[in-house]
Amino acid sequence: MSILVDTSTRVLVQGITGRDGSFHTRKMKEYGTNVVAGVTPGKGGTEVEGVPVFDTVADAVAAVCPTCSVIYVPAGLAADAMLEAAEARIPLVVCITEGLPALDVVRVKAVMQRFGIRLIGPNCPGVISPGRCKVGIMPGSIHQPGSVGVVSRSGTLTYEVVAGLSKDGLGQSSALGIGGDPVIGTTFLDALELFQKDLETLAVVMIGEIGGNDEERAAEFIKREMTKPVVAFIAGRMAPPGKRMGHAGAIIAGGKGTAAEKTQALEDAGVPVARVPSEIPGLLRQRGIQ
C-alpha cells in the first residue's frame, strides 16, 4: 500500500506544453508513472512525449478518465487551472506552481473541500510512492521502496532527508511535500492521518519549519491518535524574529512560530526532533525501524 498515488493512478498534466510541464512529463513517464493526458488551451490534438493533449480538462476527463492532475502553469493562471480540475471532479490535484496569492488559494480550497477533492500544494514538489508512481518534480532516483512515510513543508529538505534514508537502507512508503505557503491544501495533520491508516507505513518522518502552527497541531494529533513512531526535524533554528526565511509561510510573527516552540510541542508529544537532518535515520533506528 501507499498513500495518494500508486500504480493505478492516471495522471493528467495541466500546462504540458510548457517548459516545466513537458520536462517533468518526460521524467514522470521515465519513472513509470501512467501519464494519460495533458491540457493546454489551443493545443488540443497535439502530443507531448507521446501523451495526447486536450484543450480543456473536461475533454481529457471524457476521453481518458484521469484520477490525478498535476499543475505546471504560471502563477496567474494556476488558480483557474485548479478550479477547472475541481469542476471536472478529478479526485487528487497537485499544484507545483509557486507565487499564488493566498486569497486565490483560500477560494480554490473552499471549492475543493465542497467537492471532496484533495489538493496538494501549491508551491510543492508533489508526491511519490517509490517504485510505483511519481507526481511532481522530485528526483525519483533517490527514493527507495520501504516502510517510512515522509511529509515535509520543504522540497529540498525532503530530498536531503530521503537521500539519507535510502543511503541508510530505510526505504519510503510514500513521500509528499505539502508546500511552504501560508495557505495549502493538505496539512501535516492530514498527511499524518493518511500514514496512520496505511498498513505499509511503519513510521513517519515530519519535516517542518518556522512559521504558522501546523507543527503544533500535528503534535497534538500525534499525542492523541498516532500509534506509529514519528521523528521530526524543524528548519530555521537560527532565524531572527520578523525575518522571512525562504517560504512565504516561514516567518516568525509576534514571537510565535519559532523552531523552539515547535520542537518543544513535538517533544512533549513523544516525538524526537533531530538537530540536523543526518540524525533522522539514527532516530528511526532507535524507535525500532530497521
Catalytic residue annotation? 247
d(CA 54, CA 211): 40
Angle between helices 75-87 and 102-115 (to 10 degrees): 10
Q: Quick count: other Cβ atoms within 10 Å of Cβ 147?
A: 18
Provide the 8-state DSSP code for 39: E
Please provide the DSSP assignment of 120-154 as one string: E-SS--EEEETTTEEEESS-GGG--EEEEEEEES-
Question: In which residue are the cell numbers 543526518 written?
Answer: 278
Q: Quick count: other Cβ atoms within 10 Å of Cβ 48?
A: 19
Cβ(193)–Cβ(169) below 8 Å: no
Phi and psi angles of residue 57, each rounded to the nearest 5 degrees, phi first: -65, -40
d(CA 289, CA 287): 6
Q: How large is the C-alpha radius of gyration of the chain?
A: 18
Cβ(12)–Cβ(66) below 8 Å: yes
Within the chain, where are the H helices?
19-31, 57-64, 75-87, 102-115, 155-167, 188-197, 214-225, 259-268, 280-286
